[in-house]
Amino acid sequence: MIDELTLAERLISYDTSKPEEIVAAAGFVKGWLESRDIEVRHHDHNGLPVLVAEVGPPPEEGDHPCVVFHGHLDVVPAQPDQFHPRLEGDRLIGRGAYDMKGGLAAMMCALKDVERQSAVRVRLVCVPDEESEEIEERSTDGVVSRGLGGDFAITGEPTNLHIGVEAKGVLAMLIEVTGRAAHSSTPWLGDNAVLKAIDVFRAIESLPFSRQSSEMFDRPSINLGRIEGGDALNKVPDSCRMAVDIRFLPGQDPDEIMAQIGRIGEAKITKHFIFPPVSVPRSNPYVRALRDAVARAVPDQEVLSVGRDGASDAVAFMGAGIPAVEFGPDGAGHHGPEEWVSVSSMARYRRSLVSFVRMLPIWLERPAPADGAVAESGQVAAEDGRGGLTAIEGGRT
């Protein structure tokens, strides 16, 4: 049987924070699949490879459901030793192990496992730029625009084998604050723009939107990601620019958030972009089928529907009207120095995906539960088992 651990170790060994290593890793993925008689299509996006591989019944053989396994090869930068994977007990440690090369390796194996079934079209999409800051030019958007989005998508972001049915939206802003220059020996004669910018950020943290909550999230996330000001050591800075990253809740209006920030007298928003939040009903038959599959593969763990603090490429599918969830194996430390994925969890994750595909036709024939079958307590009352609600951290950038 193909070993997802061996695959994950090989993928981690590529420093895919670098374009040339993304190309090399994509070549490995393509070669691995093709050596197992799975055809791979290759598209370029801004000079980086996008891979699409499909198994199951071809489109000309009738109207079969199509599900997408979506993964990314790129990672955030790390120290060189983090690209030498090491195994400590059940933990595979290395950059990208949790986010999300462990999940991608299991997806590749699951694609081969379901190759011979004839009821569901399964499409593996492997992209090179999920971690990129070029948020307006995502390769996943291009995949969807080519008609490769399917009927339901699972993006393998780390969720500890829970099902991410909601994710916060992204409002990223560049804010400029101006002051008055003076000599550093007499700072009281100037108006320090850097200090004013910090005050602006503290004011943003206390605005009304920041105190709102929802069923799955206790608050929005607000981060000062970058601050730049001053051009000389002996001068009071008269301008400062900062990048603020707000992850807003489903139901919140990003335009209203910007309006609240705009009423802070010293803040001038010079550029922004918005990623909408993600929300998929827990009564969706694909979600119910996936929950059942996880319960079968991991019988000793309660299956939770969760909210995700971070954003992911799931929003590209949702923007095209395609339900998408985040679902990945156990682990911790993504984007950190000791990132790891559970080896046994990768195997359970693989089994969950395979069970999901094989049982999906049965679930699509079942009637949807009335009103979503979600009790006030937050427990899912459908026939497919327990499903509490919670929020977990994670996501892109």
DSSP track, 351-370? HHHHHHHHHHHHHHHSPPPG
Say whether pLDDT at 376 is over 70: no
394 pLDDT more than 50:
no
- Which has the minimum average pLDDT: 15-19, 145-149, 387-391? 387-391
57 to 117, 230, 232, 290: CA distances (angstroms): 8, 61, 65, 20
Once rounded to an integer, what is the mean pLDDT over residues 121-132?
94
pLDDT, mean over the chain: 90
Domains of the chain as residue ranges with CATH = 4-167+278-392 (3.40.630.10), 169-275 (3.30.70.360)
Burial of 186-220, coded b for 16+ CB within 10 Å and e otherwise, reads eeeebbbbbbbbbebbebbeebebbeeebebbeeb
Residue 210 reports pLDDT greater than 70: yes
pLDDT-derived band of residue 135, with 50, 70 and 90 as boundaries? low
Q: In one letter, which amino acid is 189?
A: L
pLDDT at 381 over 80: no
For residues 82 and 367, the model is more confident at 82
* Residue 370 binned pLDDT confidence (cut-offs 50, 70, 90): low
Q: Tell me what percent of the residues of the chain surpass a pLDDT of 90.
A: 77
* pLDDT recorded at residue 347: 96
229's CB contacts (< 8 A; 6+ apart) are: 193, 194, 197, 237, 239, 240, 241
pLDDT of 215 reads 86
319 exposure class (CB count in 10 Å sphere: 0-12, 13-18, 19+): middle
Mean pLDDT of 235-260: 96
Fill in the amino acid letter for 60. E
Least confident interval from 10-19, 95-104, 211-220, 341-350? 211-220
Return the DSSP state at 249: P
Please write the tens of the pLDDT for every residue from 27-36.
999 999 999 9
- Residue 388 pLDDT > 70, yes or no? no
**383: pLDDT strictly greater than 70:** no
Q: Is the pLDDT of residue 51 over 90?
A: yes
pLDDT tens per residue across span 152-175 = 999 999 999 999 999 899 999 999
Are 166 and 277 in contact by the 8 Å Cβ rule? The answer is yes
What's residue 380's pLDDT? 34
Q: What is the mean pLDDT of residues 204-229?
A: 95
